């Protein structure tokens, strides 16, 4: 297609609509994949979460300080780093502070952040937040040139492309998101187990996934529950995809009157108690699940308590099997370990996830060491000049005193003692109080310490294996500080198949067989015997000239064998 000139001197370039739509959609897809929906494998954060934590660090909302209105945090993030809707930022902030969403919360909340019953958070003008200690570990050393910074959306500030992430955030907290043509659904894990696996990988980079599974037992959800079977876990760890079955944890209580109640104290991950109780109530009302007398949601705060009262004579196992088969009390979690690796989406095995974290920490610790070495060398450079000046203090004072101005004094010092500009400036800025013998000893002691530090840092940079040992120590340190016991139990056997017989309440049945071969089973409780002067059982309507030939009683769980001549 040729270019068309306009009367105003411009030009119109004809483009095929198919080509333009394809290009625009690809651009949109990549924007969603890279800049919104998928986490980075290094720090485990999506851009909005990373911007929230960095903005809070920038504003000084540390764990030891006071909380601030979430409206302020949302405004700072929107105005400086994330020019999208305020609801997207606030929703992300709220999730970071929910105990039932995050295994290790990076946000300390104040106010209503929503509940496990599905209730929404209060408006951001009412709630407050600050960083937790775990969040501080995520941004620690960020001012030591450990990560790259890029201009924000309007080129007024710089924002980090990734956080230093001392904690393997992606593995311990998981992530979920729907991009264009792909989705991620990563479960949380126990910090102690992940830290042990990281240390084992550092000790042996050739470690197998089966060996890593000795350390990482399986997902560890903030809401607890019980995982049935290890097949799906192993498959996910090896291929990046798998499916696991989770059940709620329950106990059975008996009242003084003898009635049983099923009490669920833990439910599957991402299940809300309000929706769950509504579902159970509807099934009980429609007689899909029989034997339920009442359903009460007594959940409060971090504690879950769903009480399902049973009618007298109801068998709890029958109701439980129906609950597991017909409600989210038994749920499947489809694992998709999809994350961005060097800006590209990739489905990752457990070993790859760990190796990417270790590589990121290697880069962070190396850059931190280089920064500290540079600062130490700069300080040593100044200290050497100060010590030399004090050793020749009379001459230094004479030079400064005879100089017309500061610039002349600096040049005279540089000529006499071969100081550079930085050293000369430090000398002319030196206070007279530092000329005491005690101050001279302090300077000499500090110089020795700084020189020892320089040797240590140079040795670290010359031996990468020592940097790996630092990563091991730091990972073990955060695990010791923030790690806790597993909340989710894992049962080796797969979840038992629900037996249809278990869904049927056992009762006695009266079986009637007629002369002509008709058979009917009637509950014993409703069976009506023949009355005086009657023509047959009231429980069976017989055809003309037919009559009951046999009657016997059996359980509705019993098996009956029939033999025919045909």
Which residues are known to be catalytic? Answer: 126
Region of residue 313 (phi > 0: left; psi between -120 and 50: alpha; otherwise: beta): left
- Yes or no: say if 38 and 180 are a contact pair by the CB < 8 Å rule: no
Number of alpha carbons in the 13 Å side-chain half-sphere of residue 29: 12
In angstroms, the CA 494 to CA 228 distance is 5
Q: How many residues does the chain have?
A: 566
- Yes or no: say if 171 and 353 are a contact pair by the CB < 8 Å rule: yes
End-to-end CA distance of the chain: 82
> Would you state the torsion angle of the CA atoms of residues 88, 90, 93, 97, taken in this order, to the nearest 10 degrees?
-130
Q: 102: how many CB neighbours lie within 10 A of its CB?
A: 20
In angstroms, the CA 518 to CA 555 distance is 19
What lies within 8 Å, CB to CB, of 266 at 6+ separation is 223, 224, 225, 226, 248, 249, 304, 487
In angstroms, the CA 172 to CA 222 distance is 10
- Yes or no: say if 75 and 57 are a contact pair by the CB < 8 Å rule: no
DSSP letters, 215-270, are: T--S---TT--EEE-SHHHHHHHHHSEEEEEEE-EEEEEE-TTS-EEEEEEE--TT
In angstroms, the CA 381 to CA 420 distance is 10
Using CA of residue 372, residue 478, residue 300, residue 276, what is the dihedral sign? positive
In angstroms, the CA 236 to CA 213 distance is 11
In angstroms, the CA 455 to CA 452 distance is 5
DSSP letters, 444-505, are: HHHHHHHHHHHHHHHHHHH-HHHHHHHHHHHHHHHHHHH----SSEEESSPPPPPPGGGGS-
In angstroms, the CA 45 to CA 322 distance is 39
DSSP letter, residue 47: H
Please name which of 18, 498, 495 lies closest in space to residue 268, comparing C-alpha atoms: 495
Is residue 315 helix, strand or coil?
A: coil
């Amino acid at each position: 297609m040729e270019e068309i000139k306009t009367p105003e001197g411009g030009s119109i370039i004809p483009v095929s609509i198919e080509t333009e739509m394809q290009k625009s959609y690809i651009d949109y897809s990549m924007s969603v994949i890279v800049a919104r929906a998928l986490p980075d494998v290094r720090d485990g954060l999506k851009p909005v979460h990373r911007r929230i934590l960095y903005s809070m660090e920038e504003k000084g909302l540390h764990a030891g300080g006071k909380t601030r209105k979430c409206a302020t945090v949302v405004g700072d993030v929107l105005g400086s780093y994330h020019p999208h809707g305020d609801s997207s930022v606030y929703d992300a902030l709220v999730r970071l502070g929910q105990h039932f969403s995050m295994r290790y919360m990076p946000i300390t909340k104040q106010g209503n952040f929503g509940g496990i019953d599905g209730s929404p958070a209060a408006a951001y003008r009412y709630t407050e937040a600050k960083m937790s200690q775990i969040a501080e570990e995520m941004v620690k050393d960020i001012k030591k040139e450990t990560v790259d910074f890029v201009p924000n959306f309007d080129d007024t500030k710089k924002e980090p492309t990734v956080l230093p992430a001392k904690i393997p955030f992606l593995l311990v907290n998981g992530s979920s998101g729907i991009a264009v043509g792909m989705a991620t659904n990563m479960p949380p894990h126990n910090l102690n187990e992940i830290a042990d696996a990281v240390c084992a990988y550092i000790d042996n980079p050739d470690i197998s996934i089966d060996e890593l599974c000795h350390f990482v037992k399986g997902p560890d959800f903030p809401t607890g529950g019980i995982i049935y079977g290890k097949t799906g876990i192993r498959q996910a760890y090896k291929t990046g995809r798998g499916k696991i079955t989770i059940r709620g944890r329950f106990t059975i209580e008996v009242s003084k009157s003898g009635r049983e109640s099923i009490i669920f104290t833990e439910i599957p991950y991402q299940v809300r108690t309000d929706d769950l109780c509504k579902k159970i109530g509807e099934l009980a009302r429609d007689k899909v699940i029989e034997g339920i007398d009442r359903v009460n949601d007594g959940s409060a705060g971090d504690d879950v308590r769903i009480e399902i009262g049973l009618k007298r004579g109801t068998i709890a196992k029958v109701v439980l099997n129906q609950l597991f088969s017909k409600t989210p009390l038994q749920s499947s979690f489809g694992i998709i370990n999809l994350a961005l690796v060097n800006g590209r989406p990739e489905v990752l095995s457990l070993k790859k996830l760990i190796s990417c974290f270790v590589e990121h920490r290697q880069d962070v610790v190396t850059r931190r060491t280089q920064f500290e070495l540079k600062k130490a060398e700069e300080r040593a450079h100044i200290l050497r000049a100060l010590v030399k000046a004090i050793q020749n203090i009379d001459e230094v004072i004479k030079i400064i005193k005879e100089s017309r101005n500061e610039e002349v004094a600096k040049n005279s010092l540089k000529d006499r003692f071969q100081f550079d500009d930085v050293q000369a400036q430090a000398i002319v800025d030196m206070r007279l109080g530092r000329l005491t013998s005690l101050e001279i000893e302090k300077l000499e002691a500090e110089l020795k310490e700084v020189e020892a530090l320089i040797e240590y840092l140079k040795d670290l940079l010359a031996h990468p294996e020592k940097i790996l040992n630092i990563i091991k120590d730091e990972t073990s340190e955060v695990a010791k500080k923030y790690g806790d016991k597993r909340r989710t139990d894992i049962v080796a056997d797969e979840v038992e198949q629900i037996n249809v017989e278990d869904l049927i309440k056992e009762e006695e049945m009266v079986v009637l067989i007629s002369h002509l071969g008709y058979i009917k089973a009637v509950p014993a409780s409703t069976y009506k015997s023949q009355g005086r002067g009657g023509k047959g059982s009231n429980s069976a309507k017989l055809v003309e000239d037919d009559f009951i030939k046999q009657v016997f009683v059996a359980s509705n769980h019993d098996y009956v064998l029939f033999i025919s001549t045909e």
